[in-house]
Amino acid sequence: MEKSARPQRDLETREKVERPKQWMPPQLLPDPTPEPGYAFRWIRIKTLNKDDPINMSAKLREGWEPVKASDHPEIRLFGATNGAFPDSVEVGGLLLCKTPSEFVGQRNAYYQNQTDSQMNAVDNNFMRESDPRMPMFKERKSTVTFGKGL
């Protein structure tokens, strides 16, 4: 059998088809590379170029700790501070901090419990005014219905 005059497959080229890139507004605060087991957050340390030690000390007591700029070179361009937190990342009076993810879950559960307690207190106060002859309706559910279409 003779070889066909077809060109070899690896010599054929196929141009890539790419979607045209779209302009997007820049992010004001860069996202650090995620670390397993940690959550990141930008904490206010200054307002109008005045230090805010009360907010920062509260966040430190909650378990947030400043992130070292050397640990995240992808956002090092945004600058290290020379103030109270050297070798850290600060952008516009905000300091990048991290805490263990389990702390975030515990914090969310605490505030959810606070919210539920307040809603129960409001409901109890509201229902206390209810009269059996004309009860007040208490429904805290939402439903989604779909039309039948044509």
Please give the structure tokens belonging to residue 25.
């507004």
Residue 10, in any domain of the structure: no
Residue 149, in any domain of the structure: no
Report how far apart, in Å, the C-alpha atoms of 39 and of each of 2, 116, 119, 127, 146 are: 65, 25, 29, 41, 39
pTM listed for this prediction = 0.60
In the predicted model, is pLDDT for residue 103 greater than 60? yes
pLDDT category of residue 7 using cuts at 50, 70 and 90: low
Residue 23, in any domain of the structure: no
Residue 89, in any domain of the structure: yes
Angle of CA points 54, 40, 52, to nearest 5°: 15
Residue 125, in any domain of the structure: no
The rounded distance, in Å, linking the Cα atoms of 128 and 136 is 10
Give percent above pLDDT 90 in the chain.
24
Q: Which residue has the higher pLDDT, 14 or 41?
A: 41
Average pLDDT over residues 4-22: 66
Rg (CA), the chain: 28
Q: Which residues form the domain of 94?
A: 39-100
> At a CB cut-off of 8 Å and minimum separation 6, what does 143 contact?
none
pLDDT at 44: 92
In the predicted model, is pLDDT for residue 114 greater than 90? yes
In the predicted model, is pLDDT for residue 141 greater than 70? no
pLDDT category of residue 93 using cuts at 50, 70 and 90: confident
Asked whether the beta carbons of 89 and 79 are under 8 A apart, the reply is yes
The rounded distance, in Å, linking the Cα atoms of 59 and 78 is 22
pLDDT at 86: 77
Residue 82, in any domain of the structure: yes
The rounded distance, in Å, linking the Cα atoms of 60 and 83 is 16
Residue 122, in any domain of the structure: no
Average pLDDT over residues 17-40: 82
Asked whether the beta carbons of 88 and 96 are under 8 A apart, the reply is yes
Domain count along the chain? 1
Average pLDDT over residues 77-100: 77
